[in-house]
């Protein structure tokens, strides 16, 4: 088992895995009214079915040891941390065989919507500081039942995430 360190989220470093936008600090062109500024289409996605907006609660473990990973073969996943920064681990798509030695862990600021590309290895986000992370997951309805491959990692594939700021 080995340890990986969280790294800051940047567009360049996260690009192989997806994209993101800080929803609580919008920038760029906006449509403006008397009392509002609207920042359209900062992240777009097309799902061919109904979309589920699902809350997730994740307790902070004593040790951030990762023993399972998952991927979705037909859909990207979006995650929005609501009450805390989140730690998100991702690894490249690899035809169903985990490549945990290529895993990277990102510190995602609260209020930042992250889109994880189709087939990227990941699992539940982890709280950076809070005892329990509250986040929203956006996926096509019933993805957890129809398009979610979860793999138990062999001991030599498991890793620990460190978040030292």
**pLDDT, block means (10 residues), the chain with 165 residues:** 94 97 95 95 90 97 96 96 98 95 98 98 97 97 94 96 87
Q: How far is it, in rounded angstroms, from Cα 6 to Cα 80? A: 18
CATH number of 2-162: 2.60.120.480
Compute the radius of gyration of the chain from its Cα atoms.
Answer: 16
Q: What is the tally of helices (H) and strands (E) in the chain?
A: 2, 15
**pLDDT at residue 165, rounded to an integer:** 67
Q: Where are the domains of the chain?
A: 2-162
- Residue whose tokens read 């990973």: 69
Q: Contact, 139 vs 79, CB < 8 A?
A: no
Helix or strand or coil: residue 102?
helix
Helix or strand or coil: residue 157?
helix
* Tokens, residue 53: 């907006």
**pLDDT at residue 164, rounded to an integer:** 81
């Amino acid at each position: 088992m080995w340890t990986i360190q969280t790294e800051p989220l940047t567009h360049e470093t996260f690009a192989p895995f997806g994209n993101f936008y800080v929803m609580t600090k919008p920038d760029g062109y906006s449509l403006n009214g008397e009392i509002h500024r609207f920042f359209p289409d900062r992240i777009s996605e097309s799902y061919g079915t109904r979309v589920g907006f699902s809350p997730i609660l994740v307790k902070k473990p004593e040790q951030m040891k990762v023993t399972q990973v998952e991927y979705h073969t037909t859909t990207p996943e979006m995650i929005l941390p609501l009450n805390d920064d989140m730690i998100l681990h991702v690894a490249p798509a690899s035809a169903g065989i985990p490549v945990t030695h290529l895993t990277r862990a990102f510190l995602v600021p609260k209020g930042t919507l992250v889109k994880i590309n189709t087939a990227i290895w990941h699992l539940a986000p982890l709280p950076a500081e809070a005892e329990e992370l509250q986040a929203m997951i956006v996926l096509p309805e019933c993805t957890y039942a129809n398009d979610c491959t979860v793999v138990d990692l062999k001991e030599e594939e498991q890793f620990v995430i460190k978040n030292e700021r």
